[in-house]
Chain A
């Protein structure tokens, strides 16, 4: 549907301009920033380090502990600081999205802490957070199978579009808006996160996954470039 006009004039499969950088948190073992347009996420990785309380330690492998949160000034109405139902869910889901690429068995009984903070939110914060966290884990020198790339595909009425903004998420014409965040292991067809908020016709899911493959390749190039640039600093 070439006739569909997006509110910011992008093509249906066009992502917002991405920026990425590593080494943004000097005191962390690894850190990264990732932005999709006005959505900015920073991630800091600490560890492997001692896990307390001790009963949470897993003698078989390291524990991955993600904490995602919106900073209070990142949204229009001030976000009350601290964990919420939403941020706890996204933290858990980010853990599931990242752990398949990590070699956790190398560091038994320890914890790898990942802190993800959203500096500015304009939809797609969890995907920006996963992209930043994946770069930060690599930057922390941890053994990984590959990077994780994440992108939110969505639907405006009946048109599948990539990387929705907040304005697009609040679209109410026709079938309304659908949000379909995905994460996958780079250069493979293994998805580590598939979420769906809204309605979508079964036939369109194939189109969504196809678009995710295409756009994740772009995300991967940005992540790779930032990591390589970060090494020579």
Chain B
């Protein structure tokens, strides 16, 4: 079965071949290939288990999903909203089937158990890291730079599959947005974005920029394009 090849990343990385596959489609044949995320082995073939962009990096084959809901994984940074306060922590809604839990110990300073809403009240936003996923639920932590309560500003949602592009390689895109809008920007793997600045114009511009990036999944050299967009819209 031949698969249609499309140029997505251009010629800068010729060793990476990418093409769109549907579930059940044979990506490559051969015992030497290794099936990674979104693929499985069927006899001698590597078959797509998901709809998305198949990527051949050396002998490793994986499928990057282009659409669909956020599925949490350990180590993901997510933006969530406090939905309940319990005896020993906060219940956080992170747009997934089960709620996440943030233990009281994650608070940066001592908190009186009777006044837990002094730190995080119901409805407050937070940026946390997924510490572990068990059958009972998801555990969050504030262990990392920039993690904690998100105060002020506003939040909005984009497609979780576009978040890697919003962040860019080694954070190039998100830093570009921060520098050009003078905003504090946080992006969660679950698609929630948060912007904060004293200047409303800057916040709206940051939101516009993020939404533009998520609407253009197949543009080459997007960082340069966004740079010139910021130049034009100073």
Within 8 A of B (CB), among A97-117: 101, 103, 107-111
Within 8 A of A (CB), among B87-145: 96-98, 135
Chain B: number of interface residues, binned into ranges: 20 to 34
Q: In the complex, what's the smallest C-beta–C-beta distance from A59 to chain B, in angstroms?
A: 7
Question: How many residue pairs at the A-B interface have CB separations less than 8 Å?
Answer: 88
A231 with B49: CB separation less than 8 A: no
> Dominant SS at the B interface?
loop
A139 with B97: CB separation less than 8 A: no
A107 with B22: CB separation less than 8 A: no
B51 with A227: CB separation less than 8 A: yes
Q: In the complex, what's the smallest C-beta–C-beta distance from B54 to chain A, in angstroms?
A: 11
A48 with B71: CB separation less than 8 A: yes
The one of B20, B67, B68, B97 in contact with A232, judged by C-beta atoms closer than 8 angstroms, is B20
Chain A: number of interface residues, binned into ranges: 35 or more
Is A212 part of the binding interface, using a Cβ–Cβ cutoff of 8 Å?
no
Closest to A141 in B: B68
Q: A51-B97, A232-B218 are in contact. Are A145 and B23 (CB under 8 A)?
A: yes
Binary flags per residue of B21-32, CB closer than 8 Å to A gives 1, else 0: 011110000000
A109 with B50: CB separation less than 8 A: no
Binary flags per residue of B14-52, CB closer than 8 Å to A gives 1, else 0: 000000101111000000000000100000000001111
A224 with B25: CB separation less than 8 A: yes
The one of B4, B96, B98, B161 in contact with A141, judged by C-beta atoms closer than 8 angstroms, is B161
Is B65 part of the binding interface, using a Cβ–Cβ cutoff of 8 Å?
yes
Binary flags per residue of A178-202, CB closer than 8 Å to B gives 1, else 0: 0000000111000000000000000
Is A83 part of the binding interface, using a Cβ–Cβ cutoff of 8 Å?
no
Q: In the complex, what's the smallest C-beta–C-beta distance from A28 to chain B, in angstroms?
A: 10
Closest to B161 in A: A141
Closest to B70 in A: A29
* Inter-chain contacts of A124 with B (CB < 8 A): none
B67 with A187: CB separation less than 8 A: no
Is A82 part of the binding interface, using a Cβ–Cβ cutoff of 8 Å?
no
* Inter-chain contacts of A144 with B (CB < 8 A): 23-24, 49-51
* Inter-chain contacts of A232 with B (CB < 8 A): 6, 20, 218
The one of B24, B71, B97 in contact with A186, judged by C-beta atoms closer than 8 angstroms, is B24
A109 with B97: CB separation less than 8 A: yes
Is B79 part of the binding interface, using a Cβ–Cβ cutoff of 8 Å?
no
Binary flags per residue of B55-87, CB closer than 8 Å to A gives 1, else 0: 000000000011111010000000000000000
Q: In the complex, what's the smallest C-beta–C-beta distance from A109 to chain B, in angstroms?
A: 7
B24 with A147: CB separation less than 8 A: yes
Is B173 part of the binding interface, using a Cβ–Cβ cutoff of 8 Å?
no
B67 with A141: CB separation less than 8 A: yes
B49 with A141: CB separation less than 8 A: no
* Inter-chain contacts of A223 with B (CB < 8 A): 22
Closest to B64 in A: A141
Is B186 part of the binding interface, using a Cβ–Cβ cutoff of 8 Å?
no
The one of A48, A59, A141, A185 in contact with B50, judged by C-beta atoms closer than 8 angstroms, is A141
Is B203 part of the binding interface, using a Cβ–Cβ cutoff of 8 Å?
no
Q: In the complex, what's the smallest C-beta–C-beta distance from A94 to chain B, in angstroms?
A: 18
Is A42 part of the binding interface, using a Cβ–Cβ cutoff of 8 Å?
no
Complex Cα distance, B19 from A232, in Å, reads: 11
B22 with A29: CB separation less than 8 A: no
Complex Cα distance, B73 from A107, in Å, reads: 12
19 contacts between A and B (CB under 8 A): A29-B67, A29-B69, A30-B68, A47-B97, A48-B69, A101-B24, A103-B49, A139-B67, A141-B51, A141-B68, A143-B49, A144-B49, A145-B23, A147-B24, A185-B24, A224-B22, A227-B22, A227-B51, A228-B22
4 A-B pairs closest in CB distance: A141-B68, A146-B24, A144-B23, A141-B65
Interface residues of A (CB under 8 A from B): 23, 29-30, 46-51, 59, 101, 103, 107-111, 138-147, 185-187, 223-224, 227-228, 231-232
Interface residues of B (CB under 8 A from A): 4, 6, 20, 22-25, 38, 49-53, 65-69, 71, 96-98, 135, 161, 218
